[in-house]
Structures are given as structure tokens and as C-alpha cells.
Amino acid sequence: MVDSLVQWFTVHLSGLVAEEGIIFIISMIPILELRGGLLAASPALLNVPILRAIPICIIGNILPIPFILLLINHILAWMEKVKVFRPIALWLKNKAMSKKGQIEKYEFWGLALFVGIPLPGTGAWTGALIASLLHMKFWKAFGAILIGIVVATVIMSVLSYGVLGVLFG
């Protein structure tokens, strides 16, 4: 699913937005995040040099996180009061809290690993949502998420530029 979404955004934004803008936008989108940005930047798609792609993807992925950490509880509380948004708010909370075990048990390092290991349903957006719902302190959560993004960057750089670079480079 991530691959097809990345390809869709890459195809539909090409010609309208610079390659760097495409990977920045993809890196900001929930589900895709930095993983999708580095896949789009790889030799298989946009062929953006790795040293240019990495900082763009990291900035794109980290940019929404402070807003999520600071505002998501207020937004979800408001959504729960509005009948039409209540099911969405409850679904988001339940989905996020179903993944809280590792984060709740190991806190900082659990959150860092949750964000860093590129598996479906993990990442900075979900990690920030869970950290907020667990009332983690802002700087503790932000630091763990930043470390997780760095870990994800290393893993996805190897996959996107190493494996895909060999195949398509």
C-alpha cells in the first residue's frame, strides 16, 4: 500500500512540484512519512541524491510532530463532542492505544523504537498520538520521536538507496 501511495503522489506531483518538494510533502503525510519520502527519492523513482533527500525527509517528517504532541488531545476531545466526528475520534484513540504496550512499558526507548522500526502502523505520527494519549512530557516524547526518525532514516536509506539503488541505479 505504501509503495502504491508513494508512486501515486510521485506521478501526480511531478511537473507541478520540484522533486525535493515532492519528497518533503510525502514525508509529512501520515502513513507515508519519512519512509515514503525516501522511497520516492530513491533511484527507483525520483533519483534525488541521498545527501539531499535525507534532511528534506527528516524535516518533513518532524514538522507536524510538535503540533500533534501539543494539540491532538484537545482536537480529539472536541471531535468527541461533535456527533459526526465522534466515531472518527474514538477510532483514532482505539487504534493508537492498541499499539501502546511497548511505549507504555519502555517509555522513551519504547517510543523511539516504535517510531524507528518501519512496520505498518508505526511511525512518528502514530508515536506522537500515543505519546499524547499517554500524557508523556513534550520534550521526552519529542526527543524519542526524533531518535526514532533517525533510526528509520538509517533503515530506509539502506533499503531505498542500497537495495533499490543496486536494482535501479
Q: Which residue positions in the chain have pLDDT lower than 70?
A: 163-169
Please give the Cα distance from 71 to 134 (Å, whole number): 14
| Residue 20 contacts residue 56 (beta carbons within 8 Å) | yes
In this predicted structure, what is the pLDDT of residue 166?
A: 55
Asked whether the beta carbons of 131 and 162 are under 8 A apart, the reply is no
User: Given this model, what pLDDT does residue 155 score?
Assistant: 93
- The domain ranges of the chain are 2-62, 65-151
What confidence score (pLDDT) does residue 69 get? 97
Q: What phi and psi, each to the nearest 5 degrees, are found at residue 17?
A: -130, 145
What pLDDT, on the 0 to 100 scale, is given for residue 90?
A: 94
CB 56 within 8 A of CB 37: yes
* pLDDT at residue 165, as a whole number: 57
- What's residue 8's pLDDT? 92
The pLDDT of residue 74: 96
> What sections of 14-137 are H helices per DSSP?
19-28, 33-41, 50-62, 65-81, 86-97, 101-116, 124-133
Q: Specify the pLDDT at position 44.
A: 85
Structure confidence at residue 148 (pLDDT): 97
Confidence (pLDDT) at 169: 54
Q: How far apart are CA 159 and CA 166, in angstroms?
A: 10
Percent of the chain with pLDDT over 70: 96
Compute the residue count for the chain: 169
Task: Compute the distance between CA of residue 19 and CA of residue 2 in angstroms, rounded to an integer.
Answer: 18
C-alpha cell, 110: 519504547
Q: What is the pTM assigned to this prediction?
A: 0.89
Question: Is-contact 19 48, C-beta < 8 A?
Answer: yes
